[in-house]
Chain A
């Protein structure tokens, strides 16, 4: 049973990841990427990592992709049209990616992994993750919060309109 779910989720993830690249409109790319993230969340559940699955959906599908969609719709890119690379560059890129895949798979194939599986793992449970996070990884957790704060301040600083630009905009609207 788990085998079928695994292959279904893997197929869904790979398909939607490919569609992110194939689809022309950026909005479709975003929607396919959300589908891919849901498939990966299913993988987390299959691994019994329930906390990660929920956090993954909340953070990626709920926050990051919504941010992408907001930006996309604010910029109104679909009208401008997409600039594309030349065919030669694209073929070269696909060959390079394929070579990377072959190299990775070939390198990992020789790996002799012990297959002693602990079938009944409970480490992905929220209580266990919380205990480990707040006992052993307290300092990185606090550092991550500072990183978030600085990213937030940086985003606001960069995205803020400059003073003169704003003045001209106001004037333009007044003229109209």
Chain B
């Protein structure tokens, strides 16, 4: 199997992932819809995943890609728990405004 893939310079990946991460941060800050905030968090996690995979390929070390798999596991678990909390919040006040979540006092 002879496939020589010409890799981009790692700085391109750094810039792209920084940009995606910043977009995710802005999304968390400007939105009040809790669902969109969750999506922005997913976006941030994905930019980190991409950077981890890129560095893993550049250093020829598979540990980075294993870490990406574990991040995916944690993201899926987080979404499952978070969305069920959102459903309960919606059932109580008919809205998923993020400010309503200050009712969650332990």
* Chain A interface (Cβ < 8 Å from any Cβ of B): 1-3, 6, 10, 13-14, 17-18, 20-21, 26, 29-30, 33, 36-37, 40, 43-44, 46-49, 51-52, 55-56, 59-60, 63-64, 67-68, 71-72, 74-75, 77, 80, 82-85, 89-90, 92-94, 96-98, 100-101, 104-105, 108-109, 111, 113, 115, 117-124, 128-129, 132-133, 136-137, 140, 144, 147-148, 150-152, 154-156, 158-159, 161
Contact = CB atoms under 8 A, between A and B. Distances in A.
Nearest to B80: A155
Interface of B: 1-12, 14-16, 18-27, 29-33, 35-36, 38-40, 42-43, 46, 49-50, 53-54, 56-58, 60-63, 65-66, 68-70, 72-81, 83-88, 90-91, 94-97
B88 A159 contact: yes
B40 to A, nearest CB: 7
Nearest to B60: A118
A47 B11 contact: no
